[in-house]
Amino acid sequence: MGDASMPLFEQVTIIGLGLIGGSLAAAVRSGGLAKKIVAGSRSSRTLERGLSLGLVDEGYQDLAQAVQGADLVFVSVPVSAMAATFSAIVPGLERHAIVTDGGSVKGSVIAAARAQLGAHFSRFVPGHPIAGKERSGVDAADAALYQRHRVILTPVAETDPAATQAVRRLWTAVGADVLSMGPDEHDRVLAETSHLPHLLAFSLVDTLARQGDSTDIFRYAAGGFRDFTRIASSDPVMWHDIFTENQDAVLAAADLFAAGLARFRDAVARGDSDALLGIMTRANTARARFLAMNARTSYTQAQSATDEHHMKADQNAAQARNPEFIVQPGGQLTGQVRVAGDKSISHRSIMLGALADGVTEIEGFLEGEDALATLQAFRDMGVVIEGPHAGRVRVHGVGLHGLKAPARTLYMGNSGTSMRLLMGLLSGQAFASELTGDDSLSRRPMERVAKPLREMGAAIGTTGNGTPPVSIRGGRTLKGIDYTLPVASAQVKSALLLAGLYAEGETRVTEPAPTRDHTERMLAGFGYPVQRDGASVTVRSGGRLTGCQLEVPADISSAAFFLVGAAIAEGSELLLPHVGINPTRTGVIDILRLMGADIRLENERDSGGEPVADLRIRSSGLKGITIPEELVPLAIDEFPAIFVAAACAEGDTILHGAEELRVKESDRIQVMADGLTALGVELETYPDGIRIRGVGQGRPAFTGGEIESHGDHRIAMSFAMAALRASGAIRIRNCANVATSFPGFAELAGRAGLSLQVQG
């Protein structure tokens, strides 16, 4: 809210003192944002009530008189009354006055303002606060109505930017989240997401009310019917105006829905099971996906929004704050912890299951945001996917050439793996596609994948900085290449192998050092021929994948945080069952053992082509080492946790050859160095690594303090474990993206013995 000693405006005038206008008046009053608040209304009773409630200082039925002396005028009247209202206020407007509005249809409001305001049109800032209540009128005015709600501004070419900025400051000061978009886009989007649902609710209730047995219909209606038709109780006059003023966009949205309803009806009539499942599984998760994209939150958080109350709570929480971890010092880790499913394998199980012939049954699927982004992308390309339900997913494969063009951009959230692997897979499709992601992913490099794919004949575009969005032109003829990776990278290797499924001849990838080989193993598990010869992997197009059953092992990258936590906290003993121990992923175990960690592999076995074991870890004294460079690619994702172990070890730990850490979700070398320094650790950074001086056993390795994770989930979880050897509490900011790789981390760590509290 504003500073009462420095108001933004001398005078704010509200034209139309109902819920929307009255609430803005109350918020301006509460925040001390104007020296004087004036109301204009044709209703003397409304003005009297506004004065008695203390919302306004003065009130006038003459609208021109009401706006005299105003710096800012907010017009909150029905859309159909905007033209007459603009005409009425013009004689009283000061030359410097800014006019803005709250109309829910922008095209007709802008046209009315252009026609009526004349030379003052450049000072008009069209806007739409998206907020409301069941009650209406001035008595429902609420100073908190706009907090954590959205206000959309739709300025046009003639709009004075300074006026737009002033209106933005006002809405921001009352707690709103202010967005901007074009007026035509606004009217289309609102027609599809707000106006159409109201139209359907009015129509459905009216249709059923006309039936002879309508009394029984309403008497026995289930909760879903009541929820859906609740909005039919909205003000008919207001919605009559909206449907009339936004006629073209509403009709287009209605036609879009009619076409979708016809497809649904046809699937029911034909008994087409796959078509029905496709429609309903897409719809079942689409709501969570839209909320995640809209609020930049996780799919898992959005999926928990099962009713309107939860949905609003999730949106408000995501808009208002980012969760923080507060971890109290000391403690030990004990018991048995089953960590999240392997993210790398979860990604690939969906991709290859979708390209297979037949059904693939998956157990242990990681229900985190990254893997769900991959799952949603294939739903968007026409693949029927049931679940996930408690880690179980059923993928109805469409074959190598069965994917369909997505209707819109494929949103990858925070998942670099999803984007990079799909770049290869989509390069061989007949259709064009575009990949985008959240703010973090949009800063990450994609050219190291795009460059060799272009050598194969793919048409791929990135930004001038080589970052997303990534555009892929379809219908290209790909040719196999013999490519040696300049830097070891499982993601680049996998992207090329997936493109190789569609390329003429052989695609051969040679890596300078071993990287995770989940793609090769899983291709073979689906029956696709893969040739492995030393450091090279080769595939040839023309093969076929066959649906199968997969069990995803627990993720060794997720296990790494608990391995480090138990190793550094005296008195700890922890069992981590069914963890994947693929030899291309066990670098973290090898490094910790070289440092002296007591890690034992028990019950080693095979699970769907992937080796797994139960890991038992006991606390022990660690010593600093120079990390062998051949182990670096095998532990690239686990280094944030290893850095925490290094700070607890006796002597220096030195890392070189890890340039890739600088282009992960964050510059992990620098971000970890900043955090460790803030907690009192001595260190030195290099372009390709770091030297960390550990303190050994018997005393705290870290002070308390505040850590900025920069939205990097592995940074956040690593510093959470550092609290086990800290002298004070550690606060870790910006932890929302922990859900990308390890949903439920905080709860699981708490049960194991970490004193972790989530705030926000």
**Distance in angstroms (rounded) separating the CA atoms of residues 13 and 2:** 17
* Nearest-angstrom CA–CA distance, 203 and 209: 10
Helix (H, G, I), strand (E, B) or coil at 591: helix
Q: Cα–Cα distance between 344 and 519 in angstroms, integer?
A: 9
- The answer to whether residues 397 and 363 touch, using CB atoms and an 8 Å cutoff, is no
- CA nearest to 15, candidates 54, 96, 53, 72: 72
What proportions of the chain, in percent to the nearest 5, are helix, strand and coil?
45, 20, 35
CB half-sphere exposure, 718, CA atoms < 13 A = 28
Catalytic residue selected from 637, 667, 674, 712 = 637
| CB-CB contact of 694 with 646 (8 Å) | yes
- List, in order, residues 6 or more apart from 544 with CB less than 8 Å away: 357, 399, 400, 527, 528
* 491 SS3 class: helix
Q: Are strands 410-411 and 433-436 parallel, antiparallel or unpaired?
A: parallel
Which of 116, 187, 196 has its CA nearest to residue 152? Answer: 187
Distance CA 396, CA 383 (A): 7
Decide: 360 and 353 in contact? Cβ < 8 Å: yes
First-residue to last-residue Cα distance in the chain: 20
d(CA 32, CA 4): 4
Tokens 């050439």 identify what position?
401
| Alpha helix segments (H runs only) across 246-340 | 247-270, 273-295, 299-303, 308-320
Distances (CA, A) of 31 to 7, 126, 172, 181, 438: 8, 23, 11, 27, 33
Label the pairing between strands 689-695 and 730-733.
Answer: unpaired
Please give the C-alpha separations between residue 443 and each of 8, 666, 721, in angstroms, as whole numbers.
36, 9, 28
Tokens 């076929």 locate to 544
Whether the Cβ atoms of residue 675 and residue 707 lie closer than 8 Å to each other: yes
Q: What is the largest CA-CA distance in the chain?
A: 87
DSSP one-letter code for 409: P
Q: How many other C-beta atoms can be found within 10 angstroms of the C-beta atom of residue 156?
A: 16
Contact 229, 217 (CB under 8 A): no
Structure tokens at 254: 């209605």
Give the burial string for 164-199 (b: 16+ CB within 10 Å, else e).
bebbbebbebbbbbbeebebeebbbebbbebbbebb
- Give the start-end residues of each E strand in 195-240: none
Q: Crossing angle of helices 518-525/343-355, nearest 10°? A: 40
Specify whether 380 is catalytic.
no
Contact partners, residue 380, CB within 8 Å, separation at least 6: 282, 406, 407, 408, 410
DSSP string, 457-470: T-EEE--TTS-S-E
Report how far Cα 350 is from the mean position of its chain's Cα atoms.
19
Q: For residue 732, which phi and psi values (nearest 5 degrees)?
A: -115, 120
Q: Which residues are catalytic?
A: 637
